Copies of this chain bind each other. A is one copy, B any other.
């Protein structure tokens, strides 16, 4: 358990979550926060624990997951820089974690007492709105995952993940580094390691090259056509790109799926 506490006030620029909130509220919250380092595989909390902290990831990767009695796990989310979790602690209602949170890389996390957020949100509608919006976006993400599990094949889901992970990239193709274990990605997408591996093989014919953690995509458009055009989010997803002369994307609203 690494316990390096730091003042977090100087980190504001890293926390888009607080952007646009009243200065006093942000300062009050930041003052009560602390920065903490978690080693790879270390847990931030376990399911069933009291949910009393609100988290912002400064740097690193965190998985949110839950296990059943058979020891099987389902991964609810994999989060990274700038992402926020533990919203339940900052909102009214039951204060028990329904999930566990674990660092999958050495991570630097800002933690805030839920009570402070809750109290400030009571007084500051903009903060409350920010929290509510975050929950609604998380819900949208979940609903899309449900849809994907039912309507899309494994290779389509893998392609979708790649497109979202490369959403920030310009141009029509390129190479990026896969940020965590493939087994983990597989679990998050609701499939086995082996199936993930075989899905990669099938994606090769669509111009996806894999060498270790390096993923090369010849054409985002081609890949989008393989998965995004079969997804109800097509027009609004940041990961989806129009093919050169394929389907036109309608004017896009803010994306639900945003990866750093």
Contacts and interface: CB of A to CB of B under 8 A. Distances in A.
A134 to B, nearest CB: 10
A234 B67 CA distance: 11
Interface in A77-127: 88, 91-94, 96, 98, 122, 125
A46 to B, nearest CB: 13
A138 interface: yes
A40 to B, nearest CB: 24
Contacts of A234: 68-69
Interface stretch (A18-26, A28-36, A224-232): A224-232
A147 B93 contact: no
Contacts of A135: 132, 135-136, 139
Contact of A149 (B125, B133, B190): B190
Contact of A74 (B74, B122, B151, B253): B151
Interface in A120-163: 122, 125, 128-129, 132-133, 135-136, 138-140, 142-143, 145-147, 149-151
Given A122-B125, A132-B92, A136-B88, A150 B149 contact: yes
Contacts of A91: 132, 136
Contacts of A231: 68
A52 to B, nearest CB: 16
A58 to B, nearest CB: 25
Q: How large is the interface on A (under 10, 10 to 19, 20 to 34, 35 or more residues)?
A: 35 or more
Given A74-B232, A128-B128, A94 B253 contact: yes
A91 B66 CA distance: 29
Nearest to A67: B232
A199 interface: no
A92 B138 contact: no
26 contacts: A47-B232, A66-B143, A66-B232, A68-B232, A69-B230, A69-B232, A69-B247, A72-B151, A74-B147, A76-B143, A76-B146, A92-B125, A92-B128, A92-B129, A92-B133, A93-B133, A93-B136, A132-B135, A135-B135, A138-B139, A139-B142, A146-B146, A146-B149, A146-B190, A149-B149, A149-B190
Given A68-B151, A69-B234, A69-B247, 7 more contacts: A74-B232, A92-B132, A94-B253, A98-B140, A132-B135, A142-B146, A146-B190
Closest 5 CB pairs of A and B: A92-B129, A74-B147, A150-B190, A142-B142, A68-B232
